Amino acid sequence: MAGPQPLIKHKIVKKRQKRFIRHQSDRFMRVSESWRRPRGIDGVVRRGWRSTRLMPSIGYGTNKQFKHVLPNGFRKVRVFNVDDLEKLMMQNKHFCAEIARTVSVVKRKAIVQRAKELSIKVTNPTAKLTTEENE
């Protein structure tokens, strides 16, 4: 058995790959590239004229059904201890566990072991374990 599989596997649809760049950020060093909405009364970008920069809008948003879904088909839930895995027991076809970065190595091993018993996918089962064993 290869491990838990998601109930629904979907194709990721990206409506836009490039980032939205701030108007006139290419002309002035003082204007950073990070997006700011143009608010001027005569702004051509705000008015949506041809051959100007595109503005972010709700139409670029992700389908609500597939929002926050990882490429492996699961939604991610952060886990701090073994008891948190019990909440995912009945939802193991929809959610996968991600062990929080503050969890110690001893607890990590217990969480990974329990997740295997409950057939819950863990996104980072080997994190911190390899570095601790090498030292």
Here the tokens at position 14 are: 């990206």
Here the tokens at position 21 are: 């760049």
Here the tokens at position 19 are: 């980032």
Q: What is the pLDDT along the chain (135 residues), one digit of tens a residue?
A: 567 887 777 777 788 889 999 999 999 999 999 999 999 999 999 999 999 999 999 989 888 888 888 888 899 999 999 999 999 889 888 999 999 999 999 999 999 999 999 999 999 999 887 765 666
Place of tokens 């996968």: 96
Which pLDDT tens digit goes with each residue over 5-17? Answer: 877 777 777 888 8
CA distance 69 to 125: 19
Sign of torsion, CA 36 41 43 45? positive
Q: Please give the model's pTM, rounded to 2 decimal places.
A: 0.71
| pLDDT at position 62 | 84
| pLDDT at position 11 | 78
- Which residues, in sequence order, are CB contacts of 99 under 8 Å at separation 6+? 78, 79, 108, 111, 112, 122, 124, 125, 127
CA distance 26 to 15: 24
3-state secondary structure of 78: strand
